[in-house]
């Protein structure tokens, strides 16, 4: 296990793809920082809202692709290179090898997101935002992103153990990613919209969406991530009075109040648990397949 961990960790650090994508993700923050600087965003709650919006869209997309691509070449590429045969000749068990590789990926991705967290905090300070109240939120947000990456990585491992060609597995991985990221969630969202009760408040709608996504998209890491972030706000009901044609009319209005990532994790603990459990399930399937593979 230790041998596989060292091998994957050192290879991951040296891999230009990892650092290139990390640089791209960090670079994507720059226009957002400039936007906040230009419009004069100095309130920490407004700033973290911008970061959450970015993470739930751009960062989630790029990091998900990165993880599934890495996983899709984790095993079959090593078979093609003969690395696995060398490893197993050193009295490394198959179980120790695959678990060590996965742990190496965890550390590499965790390190990349840790660096991204510090860069994000530095960028917010440059904008003029006091980060003392949202530092933990930035790290918790990237921890959630890490959980999503690890699930996509485990899905990639399944692809890598069932498809021997690393080139073919890359295409399959991208197809699976878009299936899980766009097509199936879009279909489920459409089905939800046709069955949703009328006159729901914002909180009731988010709760209904969470239940629906938990039931029908439990296998989709990005769907669970979005559901968790939907809970970062509490909504306060106020009554707005307006005049129409000389008459006074009252309408309910819901004002968002930021409750924090910690509160969202607590409120959507079942979805956080799903990220962990499904990662273990996917990794278990990949391990089961790897233990029975012909490595010649």
- 151 pLDDT exceeds 80? yes
Distance, CA of 84 to CA of 91 (rounded, Å): 11
- What pLDDT, on the 0 to 100 scale, is given for residue 192? 94
Mean local confidence (pLDDT), 138-166? 94
Q: Which residues contact 68 (CB under 8 A, 6 or more apart)?
A: 152, 153, 155, 156, 159, 173, 174, 176, 177
Distance, CA of 264 to CA of 257 (rounded, Å): 12
- What pLDDT, on the 0 to 100 scale, is given for residue 252? 67
What are the C-alpha distances in Å from 9 to residues 14, 101, 146, 188, 261? 9, 8, 16, 38, 30
Of 92-106, 174-188, 261-275, the one with minimum mean pLDDT is 92-106
Domain boundaries, the chain: 2-185+269-291
The token pair at 3 is 């041998």
Higher pLDDT, 218 or 92: 218
């Amino acid at each position: 296990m230790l041998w596989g961990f060292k091998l994957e960790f050192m290879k991951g650090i040296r891999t230009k793809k990892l650092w290139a994508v990390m640089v791209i993700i960090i670079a994507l923050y720059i226009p957002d920082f400039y936007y906040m600087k230009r419009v004069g965003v100095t309130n920490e709650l407004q700033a973290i809202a911008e970061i959450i919006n970015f993470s739930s869209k751009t960062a989630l997309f790029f990091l998900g692709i990165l993880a599934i691509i890495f996983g899709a070449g984790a095993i079959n590429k090593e078979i093609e290179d003969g690395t696995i045969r060398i490893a197993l000749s050193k009295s490394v068990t198959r179980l120790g090898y695959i678990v060590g590789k996965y742990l190496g990926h965890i550390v590499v991705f965790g390190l990349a997101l840790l660096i991204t967290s510090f860069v994000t905090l530095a960028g917010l300070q440059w904008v003029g935002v006091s980060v003392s109240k949202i530092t933990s939120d930035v790290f918790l947000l990237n921890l959630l992103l890490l959980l999503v990456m690890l699930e996509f990585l485990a899905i990639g491992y399944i692809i890598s153990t069932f498809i021997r060609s690393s080139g073919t597995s890359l295409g399959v991985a991208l197809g699976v990613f878009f299936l899980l990221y766009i097509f199936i969630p879009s279909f489920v969202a459409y089905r939800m919209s046709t069955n949703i009760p009328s006159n729901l408040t914002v909180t009731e709608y988010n709760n209904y969406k969470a239940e629906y996504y938990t039931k029908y998209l439990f296998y989709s890491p990005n769907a669970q991530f979005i559901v968790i972030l939907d809970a970062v706000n509490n909504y306060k009901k106020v009554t707005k009075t307006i005049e129409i044609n000389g008459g006074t009319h009252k309408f309910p209005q819901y004002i968002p109040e930021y409750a924090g990532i910690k509160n969202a994790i607590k409120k959507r603990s079942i979805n956080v648990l799903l990220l962990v459990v499904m990662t273990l399930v996917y990794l278990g399937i990949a391990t089961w397949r790897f233990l029975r593979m012909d490595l010649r």
